[in-house]
A and B are shown apart, each in its own frame.
Chain A
Amino acid sequence: MCKIVTLLPNNTHLNSYTVYAKSAFEIVGVMEAPDMFTFLVTFLGVFVLYLLLVWGSGDADTAYWAIEEVFAGLILSLISAGVARMMLGKAENTKMFLKWPLFIVYVPIFLVYLAKANIDVAYRVITGRINPGIVRIKPGLKTDLGRTVLANSITLTPGTLTVDIDKEKGDLFVHWINVQETKSEEEKVKAVCGSFSDWARRLTE
């Protein structure tokens, strides 16, 4: 686990990539650097998704993609990147895509917790033993994206369901199917989200 983490680019590397990219765009002078960066990331993301969707459209002996589809994809992703970068907006969100090795580690962990959650639900459906309640937790995440990742992750993990979010403080209201007594605030966050608050922070901040 530690070994994998040390192999990942740390924050200084990440920042220097962004700085290089930004200065390159400033020299070209087409668009302001952060805008151009989000535009390119959106364009690449949409284009790759389009290519995945039309995989197998060509003659399988020679090519997996029909040339018409690739051109259509290029044009469509240019248009959608031009429109959607306003919505995707913030450059700090697109930095997340540079952390793709972390996702490879995150997905299996998430799936294990999803399996546990289902065994837990199965147990509660069959025995009918529940002790529900809504609790307020303070995970202390700063970005909207991090809060979204955490809220969605804990909805799919054992015994918890996000009900609402305090937009200013970032506190989550969580419906907990088996409420346990906890002493401190950290202990409560730990009991509700396990390691997912740390993961959401690592993935998005």
Chain B
Amino acid sequence: MSWDWAMITMVVLVVISMFFMLLGAIGLHRFPDVYTRLHAATKATTFGSIFLAIAVIVYAVFRITDPETLDVNVGSYITLAVHTFIALVALLITNPTGAHAIASAARKAGVVPEQAVIDEYEEVE
């Protein structure tokens, strides 16, 4: 893989990532209440982060495999790729958990979902 192709791949991945991040931000403004906003914030940012992480991994793998960069320290690029991957796994677990904590806290504080057609939580209280 030449440097040009690696660059194009990375730019495409970063652009996709930015698109979903932006969508999450717009969703935060457009949606009416905390629950629907969490939908936008959780899903879009998680998906965006995946593409961002893949872009970093592509960069690191390219640096490792590129014969011209063999004189530099390969170990630091392995570290970069592996750390990014572990951060991605951690994000995939903690993002929905955080959203769940916020939603549960909001519901316990008595925030009623707006425009709701059904609310089966009220039966419990």
Contact = CB atoms under 8 A, between A and B. Distances in A.
Interface of A: 49, 52-60, 64, 114-115, 117-118, 121-122, 124-125, 128, 130-136, 151-153, 155-156, 159, 161-164, 166, 173, 175, 177, 179
The 8 tightest CB contacts between A and B, nearest first, are: A56-B75, A56-B78, A155-B96, A133-B118, A56-B79, A60-B74, A136-B120, A152-B96
A134 B86 CA distance: 33
Contact of A164 (B40, B116, B121): B121
25 contacts: A52-B86, A53-B83, A56-B76, A56-B77, A56-B78, A60-B74, A60-B78, A64-B75, A114-B47, A122-B23, A125-B31, A130-B115, A132-B36, A132-B117, A133-B116, A133-B119, A151-B96, A156-B95, A159-B39, A161-B99, A161-B100, A163-B35, A163-B104, A164-B103, A179-B118
Contacts of A64: 75, 78
Give the interface size class of chain B.
Answer: 35 or more
Residues of B contacting A: mostly = helix
Which of A52, A136, A164, A175 has most chain B Cβ within 10 Å? A175
B120 A163 contact: no
Contact of A132 (B20, B30, B42, B116): B116
Given A56-B79, A134-B113, A134-B118, 11 more contacts: A57-B79, A114-B43, A118-B43, A124-B39, A132-B116, A133-B118, A134-B119, A152-B97, A153-B96, A156-B92, A175-B39
A151 B103 CA distance: 12
B39 A121 contact: yes
Contacts, number: 142
Contacts of B123: 136
Given A114-B46, A133-B116, A56 B38 contact: no
A52 B46 contact: no
Interface of B: 20, 23-24, 26-27, 30-32, 35-36, 38-40, 42-44, 46-47, 50, 73-79, 82-83, 86, 92-93, 95-97, 99-100, 103-104, 107-108, 113-121, 123-124
